[in-house]
Amino acid sequence: MNALTTADVLVEADAGILTITINRPAQRNAMTLTAATEIAAALTLLDEDPHLSVAILAGSGGTFCAGMDLKRFQLGERPVVQGRGFGGLVEAPPAKPLIAAVEGWALGGGFEMVLACDLVVAGSGAKFGLPEVKRGLAARAGGIFRAPQALPRAVALEMLLTGEPIDAQTALTHGLVNRVVDDGSAADGARTLATAISANAPLAVRASKALALQSRTWTDSEAFERQNVYTDPVFASADAREGAAAFSERRTPNWQGR
């Protein structure tokens, strides 16, 4: 296992899985510019390193992220990375899958970071909220439009307009969360999902994520026409031939990512 510890973020790579942990527990992992910059760098590493398949984003100390550090906001700091947005993530999520492992609170920008992830595993005591209106702000790091995509419109609007949170079970019921696990087990649950993803063909995984996101506003006829740009390279790849051979030979595939 390789690890890099900094003041605000811990990054670990193991067995094709990159784990990024916001490391400001005394501040409930409130986002800083330094942390955002480090997360952005880790996500760039994820996409550029052929040995990495998937990443997990978590917070230390029993909290995911309480949003923007308001004390630093008052001093003029914005935890926004050029080209990546808030938290080094929300405006440009990675091409490879990203799983949020949520313990405790995911508030404001913290919840908006969750909304930018592909899958979510939450501890049973986790809570998700967009309290910006209570602070005279607005959820402009993706929350205003991603929450209604991820949740029923009425639920999302209630969160946006009242600033009140929802709990993990409500999030699961509405499809925001993939799995709810015991408190303290979100990282382990996320790793289970990450391991299942990393066992699959890299080109196929990336193309599936890209097409699923890009096609949200397409009609069926548009999707069938446009999907070929994503799926033709997958079907023509060496990994496609390897997958068929491994199935026939009843062995584990040896993916090459090409």
pLDDT tens for each residue of 78-115:
999 999 999 999 999 999 999 999 999 999 999 999 99
Q: What is the pLDDT of residue 6?
A: 58
Quick check: 205 pLDDT over 60? yes
**Considering only 19-33, 43-57, 68-82, 223-237, which range has the smallest mean pLDDT?**
68-82
Say whether 12 is catalytic: no
Gap between the Cα atoms of 152 and 156, Å rounded: 6
Catalytic hit among 12, 38, 77, 132:
132
List the structure tokens of 98: 């990203």
* Residues 65-74 as b or e (16 or more Cβ within 10 Å = b): bbbbbeebbe
Q: Which DSSP string do the residues of 23-62 spell out, in sequence order?
A: --GGGTT-B-HHHHHHHHHHHHHHHH-TT--EEEEEESTT
Q: How far is CA 199 from CA 100, 169, 195, in A?
A: 19, 29, 6
The CB density around residue 182, as the number of other CB atoms within 10 Å, is 11
- List the one residue out of 45, 43, 126, 129 whose CA is nearest residue 90: 43
Catalytic hit among 91, 112, 158, 242:
112
Say whether 112 is catalytic: yes
Quick check: 2 pLDDT over 90? no
Quick check: 3 pLDDT over 70? no
**For the chain, percent of residues with pLDDT exceeding 90:** 91
Q: What is the pLDDT of residue 199?
A: 96
Q: What is the pLDDT of residue 108?
A: 96
- Residue range 31-48: mean pLDDT, rounded: 97
Give me the helices (H) in 75-181, please.
109-115, 143-150, 153-162, 168-173
